[in-house]
Structure 1
Amino acid sequence: MNLDQVNALDTAAFVARFGALFEHSPWVVERAAALRPFADLQTGLMAALHAASADEQLALICAHPELAGKAAIDQTLTAASSAEQASAGLDRLTPDEFARFHALNAAYRARFDFPFIICVRLTDKAGILAAMERRLAHTRDAEVATAIAQIGEIVRLRLGDMA
């Protein structure tokens, strides 16, 4: 589907096609539909996210699963999240790696009150763990901004998968 066709979709079809790009948050795509026509789809989608309130952005961040967390164990991840976590080897953790992820997830959530977000397809287990440790020193505002930027990378790759 080319950009002219995307811009011509009615709102329902636009949301049906792109609503799953943002983890459990089709509202972002619904709002983006009103911003069309787009010169670039990802830029338009992210504009809708950046225009959202801080509480709405935080809700999107909180809609994401913890990496190698309960949802992965229970197999309740979305198909996209499951594939993404598997691409970084998070479905094949040693007991020590699992314990480290669990401890860092808990420390991160205790510090920021939302899950750690990273585009796992652009790194590996070691890179994710190093980022978790490094980002624990950030301010909450810096982490919200980083999470939003990482969500943008996730969306960019998911859009590429649709092409």
Structure 2
Amino acid sequence: MDRADFVQRFGGVFEHSPFIAERAFDAGMIDEPLTALDVHDAMAAMFRTSSPEERLGVLRAHPDLAGRLAIAGELTEDSRREQAGAGLDRLTAEEHQRFTELNAEYVEKFGFPFIVAVKGLTKDDILATFETRIANGRDQEFDTACQQVEKIARLRLESLLPESH
């Protein structure tokens, strides 16, 4: 697989951040046959060695959960599928209002959207996690959000590639 094909296929695994796939490929970290674990390890290493500003940019590329992009139908296909799987496309008016309030409060406090790997979680699980994490300090929450971004990337890669050789 050449660089263009790799970036085309995996550039969106880290939300709107193809530079991570480009760097992993350019660093010679991508070997065939491709597996979810190997590609994730390579891309996560590039994410972790990115500057704090670059990692912040990746965090900011993520949509608000049940936010305006979801309402407008403007999520990436991965984000739409992930949020729908957790029931975030079927919120009551009260639940939607609570997510909207928490999203605004969180972004104001931390400077990036609340990020959680929603696969396997219910909307109630997500709301409880949201309400717990909003009390964190910025450094702790930045680290937690970065860990969640890596988990989301792993889950996306697992849907695209086999686990092992």
Partner Cα separation in structure 2 for residue 63 and residue 130 of structure 1: 23
CA deviation after TM superposition for structure 1 residue 111, in Å: 0.8
Unpaired runs of 5+ residues, structure 1, are 1-8
* Alignment root-mean-square deviation, CA: 1.2
Aligned AA for 1:119? A
CA deviation after TM superposition for structure 1 residue 46, in Å: 0.2
Of structures 1 and 2, the one with the larger relative CO (CA 8 A, separation 6+) is 2
Partner Cα separation in structure 2 for residue 127 and residue 22 of structure 1: 23
Q: What residue in structure 1 maps to residue 34 of structure 2? A: none
Matched, 1:127 2:119: no
Contact 1:35 1:48 in 2 (8 A): no
TM-score for both structures, normalised by structure 2: 0.90
- Listed one character per residue, the Cα deviations across residues 112-146 of structure 1 (whole Å, up to 9, x for unaligned) are 01100000113111111111111111111111111
TM-score for both structures, normalised by structure 1: 0.91
Partner Cα separation in structure 1 for residue 139 and residue 27 of structure 2: 26
Unpaired runs of 5+ residues, structure 2, are 32-37
1:57 counterpart SS class: helix
Q: What residue in structure 2 maps to residue 158 of structure 1? A: 156
Give percent identity, aligned residues only.
Answer: 46
CA deviation after TM superposition for structure 1 residue 107, in Å: 1.0
Partner Cα separation in structure 1 for residue 136 and residue 29 of structure 2: 37
Matched, 1:63 2:61: yes
Contact 2:24 2:30 in 1 (8 A): no
Structure (1/2) with the larger helix percentage: 1
